[in-house]
Chains A and B, each alone.
Chain A
Amino acid sequence: MSGKVRVLIAKPGLDGHDVGAKIVSRALMEAGFEVIYTGLRKSGEEIAAAALEEDVDVIGLSVLSGSHLPICDRFRELRSKHQLGEKLWLVGGNIPRKDVPALEELGVDGVFPVGSPLQSIVDFINEKVS
């Protein structure tokens, strides 16, 4: 596939903390990716629809409210329903280490808790999407 890697950064749930999502969006853009940011308070359905419509390679969910497990559990179903399984699935935000295995179990490809270097996200995408 030619052209830029396309990344959807999404804010699922009701959490309004978007500083991190915006910082990551800008960092990915500067790293040469095409970034689509959804804005706040998107349902799983809206995020899945945006991923399809924008034909992205990567879906990144940013959650700081502590609701990441129920949110990702719902998104997992939508992911298979809409055949989004090929797309790299990332989750970032306020995520305890002990929840990482559970997220991976749900199919999340990479978890980037608060404090993860921006470059580590860029490198991960470059390694997985080519």
Chain B
Amino acid sequence: MSDAVFNESGLEIKPVYGPDDVGDPERIGAPGEFPFTRGIHALMYRKRPFTMRQYAGFGTPRETNERFHYLIEQGQTGLNVAFDLPTQVGLDSDSDMAAGEVGRVGMAVDTLEDFEIAFEGIDLEKITVSLTINGSAAILMAMYFALAEKRGYDLARLRGTAQNDILKEFVGRGTWIFPVEQSMRLVGDTIVYCAEKIPRYSPVSVCGYHIRESGANPVQEMAYGFCIAKAYIDLVLERGLDIDSFASRLSFNFDIHGNFFEQISKFRAGRRLWASIVRDTYGAKDPKSMWLRMIAGGGGGGLTIEQPENNIVRGAYYALISALSGTQTMALCSFDEAYTIPSERAARISLRTMQILIEEMGLADTVDPLGGSYYVESLTDEMEKQIKTVMAEVDSQGGIVRAIAEGHVQNAVSRQAYEHHRKLESGEIRKVGVNCYQVEEEQPDIEFHPTNEQECSKKIGRLQAIRAERDSTEVDEALSAVRDSASGRENVMPSVMRAVTAYATVGEITDCLIDVFGKYPEPIRF
């Protein structure tokens, strides 16, 4: 007898699986049919391969626009915009707190003009754009819609995604601004606004991803993600919308690193469980409402600073997992992304990794090739049970919003991150190049993506010029309308749209909202 083997979620893995381990075939079902274990579409990649959407953005909108054009020329089929930290937390580029951070980890945005430059020459109907923005999402979404309107697109047909998952920002990633309740209200406002005006736009992408990156195991990643998605659904239902009028526009963002089959099973289990929740708990009738649409990408948490070339290999396995899991969209952290934003070369290797799967490896040939595998089906069942158990625990603790507001989820995942780190240090968990198979030779040093200081100061100059040039009466009126709508119960989005259209800045609009909402009091847990 060999020693017992457990996966990261704590499930025991048998040495051999057989027909008796596979449950009810009805529960597996057919692709495109409830409960969607095998995929949300009948033909999946035979009809359309997964969208390739590398996360990109740095420096000024002009520099980012060049990278966007490069990625599109290289065959990328969607954009995923990275914003710098000041933009993500609602500060203008010339704010004191922004010093040294402008354009460093993403594109700096102050006004609508920055979006006009960033998306110059890009057809927003052909290339769908995903905005990785949370705390200041309502403002940046409004900017995107205002840009689309200005360029003559029909908002009723406009597609795209905003991350806009504020609850997970309180657990990991940390770009919150307002207190939990007021932040939730903004998420509700954006969902309702999109359901009414921009029905094909995905206003929220619920991220198990960052919760996993903060220390959650794969079961917790799915469970906390679903609890968060349910919290947003509950919020919108309370405002009187019908579940089928918005549920199909919710999407998910999940993480891939760690055990190969555990990840694949977590996605198949998650797809089945989510379909049941939306149908049975919320009474949805439209099958599209029950679809778990996702971006599933190779996570930074699996990559290492040590021997960074090994990350190219890891990325290829993560991409394979993603394709075998039936993702709609794929993104891969690039091999240098453990320590910097990707170089052009590293980003291209990630894109090529995905293209090789489709063009050379036959991953698009048939739907859910692992369906029916004794091991995968058995593990899918087990993962589903565990996800349900963790969701029930959260419910018994008073629900996810309370658990996050009080810091319990943060506490649980940071404790796990610590235990994981200790096991890495002791060698109990093995990581190639980190605690085994290290090399003696000198490792290459970290090289940060260069920040063009000159461009950034030019950007600040331009921001100040816009403040002087614009119609200040209209800006003042628009900002006071933002304040009024935030103080009352009406949807803030129309007033935010008016403000961005008048070239009010991200910082100005955020400050109006802070005046009304206050700031998040971060609970200190470690």
Could you list which residues of chain A lie within 8 angstroms of chain B, going by C-beta atoms?
Answer: 13-19, 21-23, 25-27, 35, 37-41, 43, 65-67, 70-71, 74, 94-98, 113-115, 117-118
Residues of B within 8 A of A65 (CB): 85, 101, 104-105
Q: Is the beta-carbon distance between A118 and B339 smaller than 8 angstroms?
A: no
Beta-carbon contact of B174 and A67 below 8 Å: no
Interchain CA distance A94-B336 in the complex, whole Å: 12
Write the chain B residue with the least CB distance to A26. Answer: B418
Q: Which residues of A contact B414 (CB under 8 A)?
A: 19, 22-23, 26
CB neighbours (8 Å) of A96 from chain B are 445-448
Is there an interface contact between A15 and B526, defined as CB atoms closer than 8 Å? no
- Is B427 on the interface with A (CB-CB < 8 A)? no
Query: Which of B88, B97, B339, B445 makes the CB contact (< 8 A) with A98?
Result: B445
Q: Check B522 for interface membership: any CB of A closer than 8 A.
A: yes
Q: Mostly helix, strand, loop or mixed at chain B's interface?
A: loop
Chain A residues with Cβ under 8 A from B89's Cβ? 14, 41
Q: Are A94 and B446 in contact (CB under 8 A)?
A: yes
Output the least CB separation between B235 and chain A (Å): 24
Q: Are A14 and B305 in contact (CB under 8 A)?
A: no
Asked if B172 and A19 sit within 8 Å, CB to CB, the answer is yes
CB contacts (< 8 Å) of A67 on chain B: these are 100-101, 104
Contacts of A19 in B (CB 8 A): 172, 213-215, 414, 417
B173 interfacial by beta-carbon distance below 8 Å: yes
What residues of chain B lie closer than 8 Å to A38, measured between beta carbons? 524
B98 at the interface (CB under 8 A from A): yes
Tell me the bound Cα distance from A113 to B105 in angstroms.
19
Q: How does the 8 Å CB contact mask read for B426-461 relative to A, with 1 for contact and 0 for none?
A: 000000001000000000011111010000000000
The reply to whether B425 and A13 form a contact with Cβ atoms under 8 Å apart is no
Note all chain B residues with C-beta closer than 8 A to A118: 421-422, 425
B1 on the A face (CB < 8 A): no
Q: Which partner residue on chain B sits nearest A67 by CB separation?
A: B100
Measured between beta carbons, the chain A residues less than 8 angstroms from B85 are 13-16, 65
Cβ-defined contact, B448 with A114, below 8 A? no
A-B contact pairs, 7 of them (CB 8 A): A14-B98, A16-B174, A67-B100, A70-B99, A96-B445, A97-B445, A117-B425
Of residues 212 to 226 in B, which have CB atoms within 8 Å of A's CB atoms? 213-215
Complex interface residues of chain B between 471 and 526 (CB less than 8 A to chain A): 522, 524-526
Q: State whether B421 touches A23 (Cβ < 8 A).
A: yes
* Chain A residues near B97 (CB-CB < 8 A): 14, 41, 43
Chain B 284-343 interface residues, beta-carbon cutoff 8 Å to A: 305-306, 339-340
Judge whether B175 is part of the interface by a CB distance below 8 angstroms: yes
| Cβ-based interface call for B86 (8 A) | yes
Is B101 touching A14 in the complex (CB atoms < 8 A)? yes
Give the A-binding residues of B (Cβ under 8 A): 85-86, 88-89, 91, 96-101, 104-105, 169, 172-175, 213-215, 305-306, 339-340, 414-415, 417-418, 421-422, 425, 434, 445-449, 451, 522, 524-526
- Known pairs A67-B101, A117-B425; list 13 more (Cβ under 8 Å): A13-B101, A14-B86, A14-B101, A15-B85, A16-B172, A17-B174, A22-B526, A23-B418, A23-B421, A26-B415, A67-B100, A67-B104, A114-B305
A residues near B174, Cβ cutoff 8 Å:
15-18, 40-41
List 9 A-B pairs, minimum CB-CB distance, nearest first. Answer: A16-B174, A70-B100, A14-B85, A22-B526, A96-B446, A39-B522, A25-B526, A22-B414, A67-B100
Option from A39, A41, A70, A94 in Cβ contact (under 8 Å) with B524: A39
Contacts of B340 in A (CB 8 A): 66
Q: What is the CA–CA distance of A74 and B96 in the complex, to the nearest angstrom?
A: 12
Q: Which residues of A contact B417 (CB under 8 A)?
A: 19, 22-23
Distance from A6 Cβ to chain B, minimum over Cβ atoms (Å): 15
- Would you call A94 and B339 a contact (CB within 8 A)? yes
Q: How far is the CB of B145 from chain A (nearest CB, A)?
A: 26
Name the CB-closest residue of A to B410: A22
Residues A37 and B526 in contact in the complex (CB < 8 Å), given A14-B85, A14-B98: yes
**Which chain A residue has the least Cβ–Cβ distance from B96?**
A43
A76: shortest Cβ distance to chain B, in Å?
Answer: 14
In whole angstroms, what is the CA distance A19 to B526 when docked? 9
> Among A21, A35, A40, A95, which residue has the most Cβ atoms of chain B within 10 A?
A40
Instruction: Please report the C-alpha to C-alpha distance between residue A40 and residue B135 in the assembled complex, in whole angstroms.
Output: 14
A94 — which chain B residues lie within 8 A by C-beta? 339, 446
Given contacts A23-B417, A67-B100, A118-B421, contact A16 B524 (CB under 8 A): no
* Residues of A close to B105: CB separation below 8 A: 15, 65-66
| Residue pair B173, A16 in contact (C-beta under 8 Å) | yes
Chain A residues closer than 8 Å to B104, beta-carbon distance:
65-67
Report which residue of B213, B214, B414 has the largest number of chain A beta carbons within 10 angstroms of its beta carbon. Answer: B414
- Bound state CA distance, A23 and B173, in angstroms? 15
**In whole Å, how far is A21's beta carbon from the nearest beta carbon of chain B?**
8
Most chain B CB neighbours (cut-off 10 Å) among A17, A19, A27, A39: A19
* Contact present for A27 and B418 (CB under 8 Å): yes
Closest chain-B Cβ to A23's Cβ sits at a distance in Å of: 5
